Amino acid sequence: MRFDIEEEHFTVFNLLLLLLVWANTCSWIIYFNLNFRFLPILIVILLGLFGFVLMLAIAIITIYISVQWIRHHNLGWWVLVGLILLFIMSYGLELSVKNIFIREQLFRQEQLR
């Protein structure tokens, strides 16, 4: 039996979307329960654990599908180069923001003198 590739991707997308909706529903129920206190604490803890497990499942499935897609299209080296560039750019951005924050702190200390 031959499956069309769009049908496989559509099924995986629907699975990830369903998991995301359930995880967000758990989070919203917990959020509203903090304000209104309509559920017992055990149910809130179980909903929190269930939401965490669903988010973990989403991450694992997404990483697995991404690795399979990278292997299928022979993009291993391009992805590695992209990750290295992304790391360098994010590290540079972090250092820039840290430098701006330190300069602002020094400027405020000089203003107080």
Q: Which amino acid belongs to residue 78?
A: W
92 and 68 within one domain: no
**Whether residue 100 is found in the same domain as residue 68:** no
pLDDT of residue 3: 45
Whether 3 and 53 map to the same domain: the answer is yes
The boundaries of the domain holding residue 97 are 76-113
Query: Which residue stretches of 37-75 are H helix?
Result: 41-72
High-pLDDT (> 70) share of the chain, %: 91
Amino acid at 50: F
Per the structure, how many domains does the chain have? Answer: 2
Please work out, in degrees rounded to the nearest 5, the angle formed at the alpha carbon of residue 93 by the alpha carbons of 90 and 95: 110
What residue type is assigned to position 61 of the chain?
I
Q: Is 5 or 89 the better-scoring residue by pLDDT?
A: 89
d(CA 12, CA 3): 13
Give 3-47 pLDDT, tens digit per residue: 455 656 668 788 888 899 999 999 999 999 988 888 899 999 999
What is the pLDDT confidence band of residue 73, given thresholds at 50, 70 and 90? Answer: confident
Pair 54, 97 in one domain: no
| Cα 54 from Cα 35, distance rounded (Å) | 24
Q: Best-predicted range by mean pLDDT among 32-36, 77-81, 94-98?
A: 94-98
Q: How far apart are CA 23 and CA 58, in angstroms?
A: 9
CA nearest to 5, candidates 74, 69, 75 = 69
Sign of CA dihedral 8, 27, 59, 61: negative
